[in-house]
Structure 1
């Protein structure tokens, strides 16, 4: 299988990749094309927007966390029966971590692995002809990467457009679109990125507005013309992620939503049954389940409601008395004795682990991690290794006396350290798992 696709990328974050990606997806869907989405790197928000724009599930591709066969399988699953795959990059095109060739986590790794051309988005605010040098540098920096065309963003005037476009042409690259500065095209954000798709008011109308904007300022036929089939024949396989139980209770609402779609799909493919429940609606884990999974999300924004959700609290404690419960990031915070919100108020949580976390004392923690399990738990046997990441502002106010969940290392060679907590059947950490190491 050789799916036809392209990659939307930029030299830096904040250039407007998601705006261009979503607008292209919806505009091309309106033409009658079946469009599939992918996201480079460990972003758990953008794939939900892709799904809303296209009506199809989107997956992450992460060259640092995932082995090549796993990425091929996910790309195959997403692109089945699709006319076009649009893969949204992360950060800058070449931004990654020190690693073996092709395993840096950079968008360029995905371009190299799948052979899809890059639609390069340049934010040209504050510059004009220099845009040509940026485009030329991106085109020549890595021989694996083919720049198929350029879209200019935040263009202020006709003269600005003409100067920047001429410089891009001098670099030997076609300009396929010019997006003017606009205060009307803004995606709502919060401290971990975009407001989630399920919480975005008027999402459908917003997607239509994005499609109108892109259709008016981008040559869609030219974009379709640069998309190409992957030169490598993707091979079918399985995603190596064993489910933690046969019947899995999974928290899912505005406070708990950060669980990668490829993990849920792998669990289902292995025969697991997934039961979703909403702590904010005071729902407890279903009693029929074997294991409870509390994903990351935004519990710090809902700490007061969660502290008053008596059925959820009592039901989860009752569940944990006989069955495993695991929490990732936000789920880890809820498992502790307390959560201090941004205003400094402390709220009692489940008390299944001994820590207290704080959103009043904030510090950004971000980066790839490889975790080795200290003891057997829902993720596997002691010594099992997983790759994933951390991304949170919350801190640990009181670490408590629990044993550690895992020993972790980052991607930069820092000394290993113990992380997370475990007490009986209950485990948790700020670590988001992506794939077995």
Structure 2
């Protein structure tokens, strides 16, 4: 029977991902099968989990998914020895209004699955106050159980002793303390970590993190704190309809933000997926019946995309007769032009009138609930789609027919409606699930 744990923290940037990867690799090195999940709408971390464990990781999300979908997704951990769910932001951080079965907070997943929480605490600039923070998190919600803490970035032995003593007085177990160690820092860019597939040395970095954590953390004590877990049968599947039978999927460094559970759901429904690289000047498979451009970093490769005539002409020819859909960065590439951070305007494919700019960055972040006013691949008019938006572009023009009425998690209508023109559609949000 697998043992489950949630890795969380009081805030973002404390070291959750590094600890999750290190624990997963360290236990795998001991011969254990480790399954990871990511709580919340992060499409980057699951690839790191897969690199650490050798097993595919997926997102679980209490705002966008129902309990049956979450149960279905986590059931892949049935044959594992250890199951780790990495949280997002702080333990209780979610949106103000409840979604399908929660607010999107990591605590929702911990309570729903009955898995204890290991907190990563960074006591930089404090000492005993770290214990007060941990105790407050422990007592904030009755259904969430704290297993203990791992201290990260402790400044000295004296610093560690002060924090440990306070935590022990509060009755909170300390599994270990990590000094600062630059060699296990994961590189970042504006939308989060640099993607795992872009880091040639990611295996060595995870190995070093595992070695370092095994030296400073009591791995056996952490494992003993995990809860034995018997997955419950899922009443339903993933609530995702594939956009077509044969899907041409853009996939490279500029087009990589797609949730793993989406691809699995498409395949489970019988769809076939062929990938192509716009950065390599490839066009979508001519035998496909739909083309999907996910999000990613087109703003970092806008000059290459603009210069790749075979990709652009091939995509336009595809869209003459068949549907093409873009999410976020993919939507931007379907547009008329993209201005990069240096203020250089690059011509895109022109299938839609959208024009975006990164010259003046503006963050767009949050859950989205869209009611389709026009059809898009896999979904009809009136469908209610749940997704998440995260980008730094500014809309210069969005002149086409709006694709949907889009609300944020509070119910407020937002301007990023998505677009439709002929066979082309696009959204700024990344689709997670459809309301049924």
Question: TM-score, normalised on structure 2?
Answer: 0.97
CA contact (8 A) 1:93 1:107 kept: yes
Deviates more, 1:357-366 or 1:251-260: 357-366
CA contact (8 A) 1:353 1:426 kept: yes
SS in 2 for 1:257: coil
Alignment of 1:91-240 (within 5 A): 91-100=89-98, 102-230=101-229, 233-235=232-234, 237-240=236-239
CA contact (8 A) 2:22 2:210 kept: yes
Alpha-carbon deviations, 1:300-347, whole Å to 9, x = none?
A: 000011111111111100000000000000000000111111111111
Alpha-carbon deviations, 1:268-315, whole Å to 9, x = none?
A: 000000001011011100001000000000000000111111111111
CA contact (8 A) 2:75 2:231 kept: no
What is the aligned length? Answer: 434
Question: Alpha-carbon deviation of 1:132?
Answer: 1.2
Give runs of ≥4 in structure 1 deviating > 4 Å: none
Match of 1:420 among 411, 418, 421: 418
Question: Alpha-carbon deviation of 1:424?
Answer: 1.0
Deviates more, 1:390-399 or 1:41-50: 390-399
CA contact (8 A) 1:405 1:418 kept: no
For 2:342 and 2:402, locate their aligned partners in 1 and report how far apart those are by CA, in whole Å.
29
For 1:418 and 1:301, locate their aligned partners in 2 and report how far apart those are by CA, in whole Å.
22
2:432: which partner in 1? 434
2:24: which partner in 1? 25
For 2:262 and 2:218, locate their aligned partners in 1 and report how far apart those are by CA, in whole Å.
36
Question: Alpha-carbon deviation of 1:4?
Answer: 2.0
Q: CA RMSD in A?
A: 1.3
1:89: which partner in 2? 87
For 1:37 and 1:86, locate their aligned partners in 2 and report how far apart those are by CA, in whole Å.
5
SS in 2 for 1:344: coil
Deviates more, 1:337-346 or 1:43-52: 337-346
Question: Alpha-carbon deviation of 1:98?
Answer: 1.9
SS in 2 for 1:184: helix
1:333: which partner in 2? 332
Alpha-carbon deviations, 1:231-256, whole Å to 9, x = none?
A: 76343642111111100000000000
SS in 2 for 1:297: coil
For 1:136 and 1:84, locate their aligned partners in 2 and report how far apart those are by CA, in whole Å.
26
For 1:91 and 1:341, locate their aligned partners in 2 and report how far apart those are by CA, in whole Å.
28
For 1:388 and 1:242, locate their aligned partners in 2 and report how far apart those are by CA, in whole Å.
14
For 1:338 and 1:187, locate their aligned partners in 2 and report how far apart those are by CA, in whole Å.
32
SS in 1 for 2:346: strand
Question: TM-score, normalised on structure 1?
Answer: 0.97
For 1:230 and 1:71, locate their aligned partners in 2 and report how far apart those are by CA, in whole Å.
15
SS in 2 for 1:256: coil
For 1:99 and 1:228, locate their aligned partners in 2 and report how far apart those are by CA, in whole Å.
30
CA contact (8 A) 2:405 2:413 kept: no
SS in 2 for 1:150: strand
Judged with a 3 Å threshold, the aligned counterparts in structure 2 of structure 1 residues 183 and 416 are, in CA distance, closer, same or farther, namely closer
1:15: which partner in 2? 14
Judged with a 3 Å threshold, the aligned counterparts in structure 2 of structure 1 residues 304 and 222 are, in CA distance, closer, same or farther, namely same
